[in-house]
Amino acid sequence: MIAAEHERARSDGAGDASFGDAVTFAFGDPGRRLYGSARLGLVPGEPPQASGLGLLFREADVVAAEALGGVEAPGAGWERLDVGALRTAILKPLRAWEVAFDADAGGFALRFEALGPPAELGTGALAHGPADLHGYEQACRVTGTVRCGEQRVEIDGLGQRGHQWGAPDWERLALARMVGLWLEDGTSVALASAQPLGAAGHAEEALSAFLLTPEAVVPVTAPRLSTTSDANGRQRHAGLELWIEGEEGEVVRRAAGEAVCGTTLQLGRLRLDCAFFDWRMEGRRGAGRYDVLRRA
């Protein structure tokens, strides 16, 4: 059960060199073709260290991208954290946050407000396997200002805020995925998966997914994700099949999406393929993210 105390910085695995604690914000405003994300990380130790990654896209173009790591951060926590061009603060635990990214070429200053309760993604094989994923995701209404060069745009879009922690074993992992789908009526999908080294594809991944509404978090009993990638392995198209237990038996919800923008970043021994998608779900359109983190 996720409660307000889970918003605090985690130090469960402080003795494990691979342990990390991170919050991630992602948003999309399809009408203005603006998309972006911010990820801030904390690694416990003496002293604790912080990292930050900010991305901003306009249509298919990268407006700003900045990554910073290894910043000493004694006493840092999620109540408020500044890392280079990035900063975040909790306004109301599990309800409202602010995040800002201020690079030379562009950035944003945004307020994220939860549209419903959090979904606990790190369960089952994801939590106890090599991914060691723990945390939660919330769909959000996103408002504020986006800056592209000298131009400032007020946005009113949708997004997702997540808090994840764990000590992934990249000697046994091939890749990890995070997918978010956000519809205008407040319905969203949050999916996480991890593929062990040597696996043939999606069928051998540990998957966890939820359908989120403003009223409830609905577990997906049998999530299925299909992906079409380009020659460089970047995700270009995706399909979701979500089997959900209803009052009259299982029902299936389906969605399809295609990438509208994205980029690849080398993060030490890992490679991040970040993409934002246009999604279609049962006659409705929405935005979302699809990130793949893999061994470089």
**Distance between CA atoms of residues 176 and 197, nearest Å:** 11
- Per-residue pLDDT, 75: 84
Distance CA 201, CA 167 (A): 23
**Closest among 178, 188, 185 to 276, alpha carbons compared:** 178
Q: Which residues of the chain have pLDDT under 50?
A: none
pTM across the whole model: 0.95
User: What pLDDT score does 123 carry?
Assistant: 74
Backbone angles phi, psi at 149, to 5 degrees: 65, -120
Phi and psi for 216 in degrees, rounded to 5?
-155, 160
User: In Å, how far are 3, 28, 242, 245 from 249, measured between CA atoms?
Assistant: 31, 34, 14, 6
Angle at CA of residue 115, ends 110 and 117, nearest 5°: 120
Distance separating alpha carbons of residues 103 and 11, to the nearest angstrom: 30
Q: What is the pLDDT of residue 121?
A: 83
Q: What is the 3-state secondary structure (H, E, C) of the chain?
A: CCCHHHHCCCCCCCCCCCCEEEEEEEEEECCCCEEEEEEEEEECCCCCEEEEEEEEEECCEEEEEEEEEEEECCCCECCEEEECCEEEEEEECCCEEEEEEECCCEEEEEEEEECCCCEECCCHHHHHCCCCCEEEEEEEEEEEEEEECCEEEEEEEEEEEEEEEECCCCCCEEEEEEEEEEECCCCEEEEEEEEECCCCCHHHCEEEEEEECCCCEEECCEEEEEEEECCCCCEEEEEEEEEEEECCEEEEEEEEEEEEEEEEEEECCEEEEEEEEEEEECCEEEEEEEEEEEEC
Contact by Cβ (8 Å): 28, 115: no
Q: What is the CA radius of gyration of the chain?
A: 18
What are the tens digits of pLDDT across the range 103-142? 999 999 999 999 999 999 877 789 888 999 999 999 999 9
Tokens of 215: 């009223």
Give me the number of domains the chain comprises: 1
**Residue 17 vs residues 55, 136, 148, 167: alpha-carbon distances, Å:** 27, 22, 38, 8
pLDDT at res. 1: 84
The residue segments making up the domain with residue 91 are: 4-295
